[in-house]
Amino acid sequence: MANRFSVGERDVRPWGEWEVLDVTEHSCIKRIRVRPGQRLSLQRHRHRREFWLVVRGRARVERDGETIELGPGEHVVIPLGCWHRVANPGDGPLEFVEVQTGAHLDEDDIERREDDYGRV
């Protein structure tokens, strides 16, 4: 298993975009931007944990059935195997830093349960 991300890698998604800021063998740091009124899929990962730090806007986080509201400077931990998603309930951009840790870091480690964009 390995980290398959590379610095500068980016992707545009229906909800916004992400960019890889830094990588090590067992970690990846991304900047994630979520457009107003959008949310990511309800998902979980088998190989990675995540730490999210909000830097701009408001985040509504679902984590195993719990709803957590976050603002700039606040954070949440997403444990391994936890069902989770983030939404931008505001009228401005949401930006947060995501730190992924684990033995296998890749976009193929996403199991979706619900998705507003038909990707389940």
The whole-angstrom separation of Cα 96 and Cα 38 is: 14
pLDDT digits (tens, 9 = 90+) for 7-37: 999 999 999 999 999 999 999 999 999 999 9
Under 8 Å between Cβ of 95 and 31: yes
Strand partners, 111: 44
What phi-psi label fits residue 103: left (phi over 0), alpha (psi between -120 and 50 degrees) or beta? Answer: alpha
Q: Per residue in 73-120, pLDDT tens?
A: 999 999 999 999 999 999 999 999 999 999 889 988 999 999 999 998
pTM for the predicted model, two decimal places: 0.94
Catalogue all structural domains in the chain, each as residue range(s) with its CATH number: 10-108 (2.60.120.10)
Across 63-72, average pLDDT? 98
- Name the amino acid, one letter, at 86: V
As a whole number of angstroms, the distance between CA 91 and CA 19 comes to 22
